[in-house]
A and B are shown apart, each in its own frame.
Chain A
Amino acid sequence: MSALANLLQGLGSGGPDHKYSGNKPPVNQRDGAAGSSARRLTSVCLLMVAAALLALFGADLQVYSVDPWQELSRIGLGLVQPSWDDLPSLLQALAHTIAFALLAVALAAPLGLLLAMVFHWLPVRLLCAAVRSVHELFWGLIFMQLYGLSATTGLLAILVPFTGMFAKVFAEIFEQQQPEPVQTLPPAAGALKRYIYTLIPQSWPALISYSRYRFECALRSSAILGFIGLPTLGFHLETAFKQGHYSEAGALLWVFLLLIASIRWWLRPQLLPLYLLAAIWLLPETIGFSDGGSLWRFISVDILPTALRQGDGGELLDWLQMMFSEQVWPGLVQTLLLTQIAVVLSGVVVLVCYPFASRALAGPVMRWPGRFLLLVLRSTPEMVMAYVLLLLCGPSGLPVVLALGLHNGGLIAFLVANASDAEHKSPLARPDDPKGIKRYAYVETPRRFPAMLAFLFYRWEVILRESAIMGILGVVTLGFYIDSAFEEIRYDRAFLLIAVTALLNILVDTLSRRLRRFAHADSRLAKQSRNTSINCH
């Protein structure tokens, strides 16, 4: 870890000689910053790494001596020899997975676009921040109370948080557009015309590219929703893992991997209407309905603490105090600590993995194994990865941190490798650029670093949400208590805990934006990929 810190510190700045930098005359003060952009990035990185190192002391990362080899060899065998016996139900789960994801994104993207146009209104910003700060799984658990195990629950669980994310990212994409086209419009032209004639066409490629990326995320979310009972791939995956039927689990994982890997071949704009119709047809038959009564009951009774309903202030205080000291505080601390370590670990994974998938560093042929590795890392649901790691290192935060680090690191490494490949034949590349490790250290990594950091900061809040839900596996994060509350049919507790999780998310999101701005990671990312979009939420 500290080696990484040094590497980061070394990136570009060099200046170990304080006397030298001290004598330096005031440098180019374009934005009042120190002369080296690297220095700001470095200080932000150091801060993150230092926080992660501190977190190592507080986090629950105990390693247990376990004897997992029998189980692991069965898992390995299952992956190598997947079983296709139950093909019909596998295909049905696959169809449901795609249908939920497709419909949810098809609805969330336009809704998000509309909200992005009014994103300057504080209430809209707050609403979006609130809905996206709750993980899809928790939305699923909430909607399940209202609509049961149904198509409605599945759709809404993805649709609601995704709309918030689309709104935020689309608004950011608009912000990053060149201002000139807007400036040349007649000032009297209204906001809608401004969007339709300049900002939307200008950012169209970015909007489309982000929506595609989001669809991949939706597939993952849709699959994961099976873990709480919706009829997607996760339903069978969870059962197969729980029961130790690893060859069935293997088949499911392979199918999901192929699905993710093949998106770019089958997701064609002209086929979309057809797909959407098919998706509606493929939705599970059970349509959730609410007679309004259960919705009202949920809002007015279920989620309110008994003491509050009875207007007993003293008891309410007792309840809050009990919740805070026994669940909220310990869960919050573990969630934050594990998140911090996972974010830094993701960074390390990116730095280690991306060269193996980049054309410039691994070569046109050898990058394929690297690409495959990244595909596996980003396609395997974090929960499944954590689950297997739980067998390896015993029950603690360690499997969670490792799973989150590998998954998110793999995802960002994939994006970083893509950015590197996009530059492969551009004017920036020189025929006499160094090769191998020297190229990695002197050319590729410094060029990718700001974007990588921006991706990591974007991903920070996602990692936070994911460490929270990892509690479902039994690690004592906020999700552990939320899951318990749902299991114990104590929705008042669940609601309080989810609200705390959401607040924490909003805080981290704000902090991440501040740090990103401070490091200028944003503007560079925008500069580098104005037309390829920021694909990382």
Chain B
Amino acid sequence: MSDKLASSEVLFQLTNQSLSYGNHRVLDDISLTIRRGEKVALLGPSGAGKSTLLNLLHQQQSQCSALQPQGGGLVDLLSVYQNIFIGGLDRVGTLAALWNLLRPLAAQRSAISELAQVLGLEDKLWQSVDRLSGGQRQRVAIGRALFRQQSVYLGDEPVSSLDPLQAQALLTHVLNQHETAVISLHNRQLALDNFDRIVVLQEGRLCCDCPPSALSAGQLDSYYQQDSSPVAEQSAPANEGWVIRTS
């Protein structure tokens, strides 16, 4: 971590944070400090608590951060334009917002058209999002977060449905547009290539927090080892079923 960063303002601060849903402990004794200017990748197997952690962080800075939750929270009936526009709703008055449903506001329209070009959605701008593919929907969600125009970006697997080239390009764009970013990812390589800090969660615990230079892809893999492979999970019951049927 560079000296310049070390001295900058603390944005997020968690100290010995734990969180449970019923008997299930989702976060276990997490201490984490994130300063302005940091680009943090959040890794770890499914169910490790990444989304919960992101939500906690969002609560600390809800005013100045752009959130992109898993699934994107799109509104199906609305067009791509309106779904992106929702990100900037706090910048227009209520009447203007209602009017915009009837007739898109000129200024917003040009801004969002530009954004749509970056996202590769320029020809879908007036389509309802329920008619888009998964990847297209994810790009709309990215658009909404970008249109929040904040300095902090919190993304929960924001590029998981995109092809590798698009994922890399849009991740770079998102990181360039925000001073600070905390992004959960499943793609190790994207994490190692684009971030200056890697945080790994495992079963709710923080088990690694270091710059990418200190890690290799192989080391990262080890954090996923305990996670039973999905292939094994699926095949076991299938075999049992077969045995039962023939016996």
Contact = CB atoms under 8 A, between A and B. Distances in A.
Direct A–B contact present (CB less than 8 angstroms)? yes
Contact of B103 (A10, A428, A443): A10
A14 B124 contact: no
A77 B128 CA distance: 51
Interface stretch (A123-131, A432-440, A489-497): A432-440
Contacts of B62: 431-432
Nearest to B154: A432
Contact of B79 (A13, A433, A449): A13
B147 to A, nearest CB: 12
Interface stretch (A19-27, A298-306, A529-537): A19-27
A321 interface: no
B177 to A, nearest CB: 17
Nearest to B141: A430
A36 B86 contact: no
A427 interface: yes
Interface residues of B, number: 37
Interface in A422-453: 427-434, 436-438, 441-443, 446-447, 449-450
A430 B148 CA distance: 14
B59 A12 contact: no
Given A430-B67, A431-B59, A14 B90 contact: no
Given A428-B71, A432-B62, A434-B90, A35 B101 contact: no
A102 to B, nearest CB: 38
B94 interface: yes
A35 B70 contact: no
A38 B101 CA distance: 12
Interface string B60-93: 0010000101110101111101100110011000
Given A38-B128, A436-B94, A441-B98, A446 B76 contact: yes
A10 B89 contact: no
A25 B123 contact: yes
Interface string B205-219: 000000000000000
A484 interface: no
B37 interface: no
B166 interface: no
B79 A12 contact: yes
A434 B87 CA distance: 9
Contacts of A6: 102
B122 to A, nearest CB: 10
Given A12-B79, A15-B126, A441 B73 contact: no
Contact of A441 (B67, B97, B123): B97
B78 A11 contact: yes
A13 B104 CA distance: 10
B133 to A, nearest CB: 8
Interface in A482-525: 524
Given A434-B86, A443-B75, A7 B127 contact: no
B227 interface: no
A433 B83 CA distance: 11
B55 interface: yes
A438 B78 contact: no
A83 interface: no
B69 A430 contact: yes
B186 interface: no
A234 B24 CA distance: 53
B114 interface: no
A28 to B, nearest CB: 5
A449 to B, nearest CB: 6
Contact of B77 (A30, A434, A449): A449
Contacts of A7: 101-102
A13 to B, nearest CB: 6
Contacts of B130: 37, 524
Nearest to A35: B127
A30 B131 contact: yes
B154 to A, nearest CB: 9
B35 interface: no
Contacts of B131: 27-28, 30, 35-37
A438 B126 contact: no
A27 B136 CA distance: 13
B188 interface: no
A12 B77 CA distance: 6
Interface string B31-72: 000000000000000000000000100110010000101110
Nearest to B86: A442
A20 B132 CA distance: 19
Contacts of B127: 27-28, 35-36
B59 A438 contact: no
B123 A447 contact: no
User: Which 10 pairs of residues, A with B, have the shortest CB-CB distance?
Assistant: A430-B73, A10-B102, A35-B127, A446-B77, A12-B78, A10-B101, A37-B128, A15-B126, A434-B89, A36-B128
Interface of A: 6-7, 9-16, 20-21, 24-25, 27-28, 30, 35-38, 41, 427-434, 436-438, 441-443, 446-447, 449-450, 524
23 contacts: A10-B101, A13-B126, A14-B81, A14-B104, A14-B126, A27-B131, A36-B131, A37-B128, A37-B130, A38-B128, A427-B69, A431-B58, A431-B62, A431-B67, A438-B97, A441-B98, A442-B75, A442-B86, A442-B89, A442-B97, A442-B101, A446-B78, A450-B77
